[in-house]
Amino acid sequence: MHIPDGFLSAPVWATLDVAAVPTVAYIARRAQRTFEEDKAPLLGVLGAFVFAAQMINFPVGPGTTGHLVGGALLAFSLGPAAATVVMTAILAIQALVFQDGGILALGANVLNMAVLGVLAAYIPYSIWSRTRWRKFSLFAGATLSVLVSAVLALSELFLSGVRMPSAVLGVSLALFAVSALLEGAITLAVVQALERIQPKAIRQPLSNRSLVLAMVSLAAILLASVGVLFAAAAPDGIERLGQQAGISSHVRTLFRTPFADYQAAFWQSAFLSKAAAGLAGVALIYAACLLLSRAVGRKRSI
């Protein structure tokens, strides 16, 4: 789902970068007004879990993989404003440290997944979560978040002049639909699992969440250190589309980092390399989200 540098034209990525900055700043101010300081550990733990889950690619079609995006899970747990802030932090660290998604295309990825994807997820949840359709709201919100993000990404490629034959576009939409349905199913399963561990775990005071925090933290560590070994190696939907549309060669890297492609360059062992990168990412995301939440809480108290 992450758009790399080289896929979008300069006018498109520049416009989206300019639009993303004030949009995220406005949403961050909204999050500040409704922020509860006891949610700080939850932001860090959920951010780390979503980062780790995004590392696990699974097959969605021939030669194509997908992964959990996680915006819906964050929206259901934290509210849409805080979820956008956490997703933005995740996307920024992925681009700057792990070179997953472009740096120039960061504005596009943030708007697609952290802003509009999160908002799309929250709409069904806000309408039906307090009714007998609650499970449907969780599934529909997560599914819709991926569909919206995918359509936005395809639209941005179209505006950038990328030629997509109807057959390629049809296959891409079908694969994104499969990814969206899997996102819905996985998100629903995760929420139900958390609520089996601790009833009403979602959107409850921190004092009622200690066991959930511990379990989500353990899951994030296991996914990042062990789960990555079982991740499918095939390209994801956007990368596959790039191959079929003939623009894969346009991908460019502005600079190289020691954790590029979620592998620690200082380890020769494939397992240690992936595990070290995954655990480093979990720690970075947790620390970044914790710092952000404390900064927001401090500004609110002034």
Q: What pLDDT is attached to residue 203?
A: 61
Give the tokens for residue 16: 């989206």
Q: Tell whether the model's pLDDT for residue 215 goes beyond 70.
A: yes
Read off the pLDDT of residues 157-209 as tens digits, 9 standing for 90 and up.
999 999 989 998 999 999 999 999 999 999 999 999 888 877 766 765 554 56
Residues 6 or more apart whose Cβ sits within 8 Å of residue 216: 45, 46, 49, 194
User: In sequence order, what E strands does 45-129 have?
Assistant: 58-61, 64-66
Q: Where are the alpha helices (DSSP H) in 226-260?
A: 237-245
Banded model confidence at residue 96, pLDDT cuts 50, 70, 90: very high
Q: Are 238 and 3 in contact (CB under 8 A)?
A: yes
Q: How far apart are CA 200 and CA 216, in angstroms?
A: 15
How many CB atoms are located within 10 Å of the residue 69 CB?
Answer: 31
Q: What pLDDT is attached to residue 54?
A: 94
* Average pLDDT over every residue of 256-268: 91
Q: What pLDDT is attached to residue 21?
A: 97
Q: How far apart are CA 11 and CA 96, in angstroms?
A: 21
Q: Are 42 and 213 in contact (CB under 8 A)?
A: yes
Paired residues of 58 in beta bridges: 66
End-to-end CA distance of the chain: 39
Read off the pLDDT of residues 63-76 as tens digits, 9 standing for 90 and up.
899 999 999 999 99
Q: What pLDDT is attached to residue 207?
A: 47
Q: What pLDDT is attached to residue 93?
A: 96
pTM of the model: 0.94
Give the total residue count for the chain.
302
Q: How far apart are CA 80 and CA 74, in angstroms?
A: 8
Q: What pLDDT is attached to residue 228?
A: 81
Q: How far apart are CA 145 and CA 141, in angstroms?
A: 6
Q: What pLDDT is attached to residue 205?
A: 53
CA torsion sign for 200, 206, 210, 215 is positive
Q: What pLDDT is attached to residue 290?
A: 85
Q: Tell whether the model's pLDDT for residue 299 goes beyond 80.
A: no
Averaged confidence pLDDT in the chain: 90
Name all domains of the chain by residue range, CATH numbers in brackets. 10-301 (1.10.1760.20)
* Average pLDDT over every residue of 240-258: 89
Q: What pLDDT is attached to residue 117?
A: 97
Residues 6 or more apart whose Cβ sits within 8 Å of residue 288: 47, 89, 93
